Each structure stands twice: as C-alpha cells, then as structure tokens.
C-alpha cells in the first residue's frame, strides 16, 4: 500500500506555492522602484510641456483667418 497523504495539507501547500508564483509574477510585472516611477513621471511631464510649447492658440488662428 502507498503512503498516506493528508489531502488538506497537500491542498494548502499547493495553494501556497501557486500564490507565491503569482506574487513573483506580479512583482516582475508591476513592481517598480520609487526612482523608476519618478523618472517616468518626469519624462511624461517633459513630453507634455514640449507638446504644449508647440501648440498653436485657437484665438490666434481665428484672427489670422479673418484678415
């Protein structure tokens, strides 16, 4: 006869291992340092500022079309 296995312990151990694998995957996918988040925020703000600097104002376009 084979070894007796406590199914509750086996199930709990298996769920714990799956949870740990999922946590590792989430850390790899979403985990970023504070410095990385700050750098991305600065880059986003800089890109927005550059875009705003090249924007043409609507009231300037309306005045130019009327002439």
User: What pLDDT was estimated at residue 67?
Assistant: 47
User: What pLDDT was estimated at residue 61?
Assistant: 66
User: What pLDDT was estimated at residue 10?
Assistant: 93
26 vs 13: CA distance, rounded Å: 20
44 vs 38: CA distance, rounded Å: 10
Q: Considering the entire predicted model, what is its pTM?
A: 0.45
Maximum alpha-carbon separation in the chain: 99
Is residue 1 predicted with pLDDT exceeding 50? yes
User: What pLDDT was estimated at residue 66?
Assistant: 52
Q: What is the pLDDT of residues 30-45, one digit of tens each?
A: 888 899 989 999 999 9
Residue-by-residue DSSP string for 4-66: ---HHHHHHHHHHHHHHHHHHHHHHHH---HHHHHHHHHHHHHHHHHHHHTPPPHHHHHHHHH
């Amino acid at each position: 006869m084979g070894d007796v296995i406590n199914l509750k312990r086996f199930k709990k151990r298996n769920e714990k291992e799956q949870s740990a694998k999922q946590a590792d995957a989430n850390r790899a996918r979403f985990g970023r340092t504070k410095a990385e988040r700050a750098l991305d925020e600065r880059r986003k703000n800089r890109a927005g500022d550059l875009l705003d600097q090249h924007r043409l104002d609507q009231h300037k376009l309306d005045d130019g079309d009327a002439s």
